[in-house]
Structure 1
Amino acid sequence: MSKALVTTLTTLAGVVLTAPASAVEPPRPAAPVADEDWGAESSPLMHPARAVRYWTAGKQAKASTAELPEIRLQPVMGAGRRSVPTSKRITPGGDANGYARVRRPYTGAATSRITGRLFYVNASGRDDSCSASVVRSAAELLVVTAAHCVYGVPPGSATGQWHTNFAFVPAYDGRADTVRQREPYGRWGARRAWKPDGYTGLSGGDWNSPYDIALIEVGKKNDRTLQDAVGAFTPMLNEGGRHTITTTGYPGIAGRTPYDGRDQLWCLGHTEPAGGLMEIGGLQSSGLRATSSGGRMETHNCHLFKGHSGGPWLLKDTHDLVGVLSAGTEDGIEVGYSVATALNAEGYGAIVAHADPRGVYDALSVKAAGPRRAVKRGGTATVTATVTMRGLMSAAQVPVTFTLPEGTSLTSVHGAPCKRTSRQATCTIAAVRPGRPVRLTARVRVGRGAGRSPRVTAHVDSTRLDPSPSDNTSAVRLPTR
């Protein structure tokens, strides 16, 4: 297929479907969000049962697949048409795009049953689909996907509109003979969707942006939550960067097996901060550096296709969710690759604060401890800083700072890579996960001019998601003799 990937938001017919007033459930009371102006927008309330009824087997089979916002690379003179070069394919059994089939049944592994196909009626009235996955939450009802899978700008309109009739089918198998095999956990209709208010859906603006991420709340099924039925990925707060990831989804190109939306495919890749000269929606952009803008990461090992939009990017060894597929290059281009939106504080943090107000996420804390006995002046003491994450989310690249008073100095710090001067060290912990504290150890020399009880401080950085920032700083005094 040589057709360039362009978003469905530019090829839709301007029809909007809305639920009738009688079909909309009354709003439920919710705990207040700490910052109501924190950059998130929600869809109108929807009726889960309506979406469940709408998405019959026939409609699922005929649904199109949402196209990825396109990255148009600068032309390569004399380049042949290929996708991922052989030297860059690292997926066992992977094809020319890096894809390999997931082993059936999809209920057999956590990554494949937590991932599913998301069906919806797009903002122009066409049956469409993306990929999505269940993300850990207090509500146990949240699905994460790309923002362009929930919101779009129909042709002729200057403003965006919400898609409707969302139905999530975990472990969807489009080649199964029976409904029970095709939908082993059933279909879960949506109540509401959220996106960052930085995502407008306008071409040349925020396609392939740090805000192309969304959450959908589904209704319960027989008083059971979605998370209880299939499990969930633990979200990891991160700014993009370098990871080894796996990604699973449902690419859909009509008439091209296994790229027809009926198979679950996966790919293994190495990521790096997204950047470089490219065109987005026909406009040149210098890209957004994930290490500074906190938005995007890319892989050159996987050329992911439309329909895979919103599919999870997971750390290979721990299955922490670090991003969702956001953009890709056109089919067949020599340097085909893919871009994901990271679960950063500005995008994912903003929407989860509204979608799951009872959830505790970035609850980092630090506890400093020192020797019980007095330290002889001219000697050394060991100070530890134990960093803990409470709640539902992991965090990557966590900065921790040791600060020492006059008369003391650092001789060494262990437990994470650090940059240090004589009286301060800034260390970066690769990851902190719930229930798995990380300990840093500093050796402190107590000079002869130190006071009677010098104070050593440890501080861990967190975001506005942290409900108790008072425990981000801890100090210990070193009694001297």
Structure 2
Amino acid sequence: MRRHRTAAAILLAVGALLTGGLTATTAAHAAAPDPSPAPAPAPGPAAHQATAAEQLKARTFWTAERMRAAAPLDLRLGVDALKTLKAPEPGAVTTTVAPTAFPQAGGPWNGGGEVVKTSGRLFFTFQGRNSSCSANAVTSQNGSTVMTAGHCVKYQGSWHTNVVFVPAYDNGQAPYGQWTATKTLTTPQWEATEDINQDIGAAVLAPLNGQKLTAVTGAQGIQFNGGYNKQMYAFGFPAVSPYDGSKLIYCSGNSSKDWLFTQDHSLGCNMTGGSSGGPWFTGFDETAGTGLQVSVNSFGYVFLPNRMFGPYFGNEAKALYDRAQAS
């Protein structure tokens, strides 16, 4: 989860969305040759293909010790904004919380169900530093796609390497294996300008022991253009105090649209760095642990502690998902 120091950074990102409109030609001029060049097609999702050598290295790179030591991307970048967050009340994250608690500002998920297997930690190396985010397996044509945040696959001009997904991560253990990414993808808006409204990423994973990911973990449904102001459940593996990245944490509540600078969803939640990329669900069934994924943990404002924001899954997210699942 990225924390923004000032509103100016958000305004710059939003400003990047402003583009000129196209002017329609009249019927009288339709037959005449148009000297202006045809408008370029909208850019498609950006992707990075891991080489065979990179995949081989990633398969053996992540030992239990390295996974435990991997720091959240936020912390590794030296962002000190998280230090300004107000600490939760004593016991807020250490006390066992019933999964039926709604709203829930942050606590361990003890309800079981599919979400335990579909959610996991995403480990990677960013500019020589071992880091982590969160991710979730979704239904897909290739049976091998996970959704995450854009900055969890590419940041500051660099695609992450040694990318693996560990579903149901448990304090250094990988009960369902470590799944190596063959391809990582993000939206063209995040690729070009790190537009926070499109901080969405995906990874396509190689088969493991002859099986595809979702045949082992199951998969969550995914929804696009589903609207705002819904009951939401957010999951992730936050690893900045008071959390340590060892367990699946969740928040729940009534979401709203960001009233400040973005088009993102907003949810009361005290998850910290490392939760980035974790799924947001609508229509979530606590008993089955299933829902429709409509966003990912993305960022928070320094001046609004204990509040999480996640990008709206619109047409851009749909294009990204379509390319990933067809890979």
TM-score (norm 1): 0.52
Q: Is 1:111 aligned to residue 118 of structure 2? A: no
Tell me which residue corresponds to 1:297: 265
Q: Is 1:323 aligned to residue 295 of structure 2? A: yes
Structure 2 letter corresponding to 1:312: P
Tell which structure's C-alpha radius of gyration is larger.
1
CA distance, structure 1, for counterparts of residue 175 and residue 265 of structure 2? 33
Deviation of 1:92 after TM superposition, in Å, equals 4.6
The alignment partner of 1:342 has SS state of coil
Tell me which residue corresponds to 2:51: 46
CA distance, structure 2, for counterparts of residue 44 and residue 244 of structure 1? 36
1:353 to 317, 322, 325: 322
> Are the equivalent residues in 2 in contact too, given 1:64–1:129 (CA < 8 A)?
yes
> Are the equivalent residues in 2 in contact too, given 1:50–1:165 (CA < 8 A)?
yes
Report the CA distance shift for 1:304/1:249 in structure 2 as closer, same or farther (over 3 A). same
Deviation of 1:275 after TM superposition, in Å, equals 2.4
Report the CA distance shift for 1:143/1:46 in structure 2 as closer, same or farther (over 3 A). farther
1:222 to 200, 204, 209: 209
CA distance, structure 2, for counterparts of residue 239 and residue 139 of structure 1? 24
1:269 to 250, 253, 264: 253
CA distance, structure 1, for counterparts of residue 247 and residue 122 of structure 2? 14
Report the CA distance shift for 1:51/1:240 in structure 2 as closer, same or farther (over 3 A). farther
Per-residue CA deviations over 1:163-214 (Å, capped at 9, x if unaligned) read 1110100000006xxxxxx211110001011111111475xx52xx221001
Report the CA distance shift for 1:36/1:60 in structure 2 as closer, same or farther (over 3 A). farther
Structure 2 letter corresponding to 1:341: P
> Are the equivalent residues in 2 in contact too, given 1:210–1:342 (CA < 8 A)?
yes
Tell me which residue corresponds to 1:195: 186
Structure 1 letter corresponding to 2:114: A
Tell me which residue corresponds to 1:288: 262
CA distance, structure 1, for counterparts of residue 291 and residue 320 of structure 2? 22
Q: Is 1:308 aligned to residue 275 of structure 2? A: yes
> Are the equivalent residues in 1 in contact too, given 2:300–2:307 (CA < 8 A)?
yes
The alignment partner of 1:217 has SS state of strand
CA distance, structure 1, for counterparts of residue 212 and residue 271 of structure 2? 30
> Are the equivalent residues in 1 in contact too, given 2:225–2:314 (CA < 8 A)?
yes
Tell me which residue corresponds to 1:174: 171
Report the CA distance shift for 1:336/1:103 in structure 2 as closer, same or farther (over 3 A). closer
Per-residue CA deviations over 1:268-309 (Å, capped at 9, x if unaligned) read 121111222xxxxxxxxxx134xxxxxx2111x212211000
Q: Which has the higher contact order (CA 8 A, sep 6+)?
A: 2
- How well do the aligned residues superpose, as a CA RMSD in angstroms? 3.1
CA distance, structure 1, for counterparts of residue 58 and residue 4 of structure 2? 27
Structure 1 letter corresponding to 2:220: F
CA distance, structure 2, for counterparts of residue 250 and residue 201 of structure 1? 28
Tell me which residue corresponds to 1:161: 158
> Are the equivalent residues in 2 in contact too, given 1:248–1:267 (CA < 8 A)?
yes
The alignment partner of 2:228 has SS state of coil
Tell me which residue corresponds to 2:93: none
Deviation of 1:101 after TM superposition, in Å, equals 1.1
Structure 2 letter corresponding to 1:170: P
Tell me which residue corresponds to 1:389: none
Q: Between the two proteins, what is the percent identity of the paired residues?
A: 27
Deviation of 1:38 after TM superposition, in Å, equals 4.3
2:125 to 121, 125, 131: 121
CA distance, structure 2, for counterparts of residue 173 and residue 342 of structure 1? 29
> Are the equivalent residues in 1 in contact too, given 2:46–2:191 (CA < 8 A)?
no
Tell me which residue corresponds to 1:21: none
CA distance, structure 1, for counterparts of residue 145 and residue 320 of structure 2? 11
> Are the equivalent residues in 2 in contact too, given 1:303–1:329 (CA < 8 A)?
no
CA distance, structure 1, for counterparts of residue 122 and residue 254 of structure 2? 26
Report the CA distance shift for 1:334/1:312 in structure 2 as closer, same or farther (over 3 A). closer
Structure 1 letter corresponding to 2:326: P
The alignment partner of 1:58 has SS state of helix
Report the CA distance shift for 1:357/1:245 in structure 2 as closer, same or farther (over 3 A). same
Structure 2 letter corresponding to 1:342: Y
CA distance, structure 1, for counterparts of residue 235 and residue 228 of structure 2? 20
Report the CA distance shift for 1:166/1:270 in structure 2 as closer, same or farther (over 3 A). same
The alignment partner of 1:131 has SS state of strand
Q: Is 1:210 aligned to residue 210 of structure 2? A: no
> Are the equivalent residues in 2 in contact too, given 1:140–1:227 (CA < 8 A)?
yes
Tell me which residue corresponds to 1:234: 221
> Are the equivalent residues in 1 in contact too, given 2:104–2:252 (CA < 8 A)?
no
Report the CA distance shift for 1:54/1:267 in structure 2 as closer, same or farther (over 3 A). same
Deviation of 1:340 after TM superposition, in Å, equals 0.7
> Are the equivalent residues in 1 in contact too, given 2:220–2:292 (CA < 8 A)?
yes
1:64 to 71, 89, 92: 71
Structure 2 letter corresponding to 1:275: W
> Are the equivalent residues in 1 in contact too, given 2:149–2:201 (CA < 8 A)?
yes
CA distance, structure 2, for counterparts of residue 196 and residue 140 of structure 1? 21
The alignment partner of 1:220 has SS state of coil
Report the CA distance shift for 1:188/1:334 in structure 2 as closer, same or farther (over 3 A). closer
Structure 2 letter corresponding to 1:59: R
> Are the equivalent residues in 2 in contact too, given 1:304–1:328 (CA < 8 A)?
no
CA distance, structure 2, for counterparts of residue 163 and residue 213 of structure 1? 14
What pairs up with 1:79-118 in 2 under 5 angstroms?
81=86, 92=98, 98-103=105-110, 108-118=112-122
- Which consecutive residues of structure 2, in runs of 5 or more, have no partner in the other structure? 6-39, 90-96
